[in-house]
Amino acid sequence: MSDATLLGLQIRRARPSDRIIVAEFNRRLALESESKRLDAAVLEAGVASALADPDRLCYWLAELGEPAEVLGQAAISREWSDWRNGWIWWLQSVFVVESHRGRGVFGALFRQIRDEARGRRDVIGLRLYVEDSNEPAVRTYRALGMQPGRYPLYQELWHGRFLRE
């Protein structure tokens, strides 16, 4: 029996009709984790684009009850590793409703995604970014068997175009 079943959760891939809840979770995630206020129009367009093209970004949702209440989400994007001849799935947009944190919602999402990834011969692993100061997330990821990577992150982003600071 899966973790999701034990918790009474249903884990499913998001559909275009989930655009509003996914955008809301992403808005809350940015505000909580980085004190960023996202431009609603850009966010909603980005979520709609992802939901219309799961090869771009694929969301999973954790639901509970009837009617279903969405309690959490996680998404994956893909990176091709020519060195390893396989896909690395990057987890992102991880969010769990505050009242359900620490209750296994993300663990159920993670295991569903990991099981699907392991079932594919072309996927070679999972990665994610985490803020160094987000100790609860670091503990959660370590408890699920993830280890810190060897590579620091460098980037060039043009925040002023998309975020209201």
All structural domains of the chain: 3-164 (3.40.630.30)
Q: Does residue 163 register a pLDDT over 70?
A: no
Stretch (H or E) spanning 40: helix 40-52
Whole-angstrom CA distances from 95 to 33, 114, 161 are 10, 17, 24
pLDDT digits (tens, 9 = 90+) for 8-40: 999 999 999 999 999 999 999 999 988 889 999
Lowest mean pLDDT of 8-12, 33-37, 113-117, 160-164, name the range: 160-164
Single pTM value for the model: 0.88
Report in angstroms the alpha-carbon separations of 12 from 53, 61, 72, 113.
16, 5, 11, 10
Give the mean model confidence (pLDDT) for residues 42-61: 95
DSSP β-bridge partners for residue 37: 164
